[in-house]
Amino acid sequence: FTSTSRLSIAETESISGKSFQADPIKHKARVLDNFKPSIRGNENFDAEELTSRLYDAIQNEDEVIGVMVMNSSEQRQIIASKYKTDYRQLLETEISANFSSNFK
């Protein structure tokens, strides 16, 4: 391999014994496919109702887990923000205060 070599974008090269596709668009698509979220958003997401459920059940570990796992990360962030606004407390602090460190 020399620095003056020119390869078309679709050609495959071998450097250090490793083959790779020289097409950056295909590479990006392949990488993004590997980083899709595994938890899909809750189609019936209602931040008001879920925040209220969490507040009422903050000492019930099963109920808190049930609410948290049925929502995507983005939805959980919305719930946490609404919890802080409605109850003037951080949801993370409430969970930490009520559950063992294994829950975190």
Lowest-confidence range among 15-24, 35-44, 71-80, 91-100? 15-24
More confident residue, 17 or 59: 59
Question: SS3 string of 20-89?
Answer: EECCHHHHHHHHHHCCCCCCCCCCCCCHHHHHHHHHHCCCCHHHHHHHHHCCCHHHHHHHHHHHHHHHCC
Give 46-97 pLDDT, tens digit per residue: 999 999 999 999 989 899 988 888 898 899 999 999 999 999 999 999 988 8
Q: Which amino acid is at 79?
A: I
Angstrom CA distances, 96 to 29, 72, 92, 103, stand at 39, 20, 6, 8
In terms of pTM, does the model score above 0.75?
no
State the pLDDT at residue 41: 82
Angle, CA 37 vertex, CA 31 and CA 43 arms, to 5°: 140
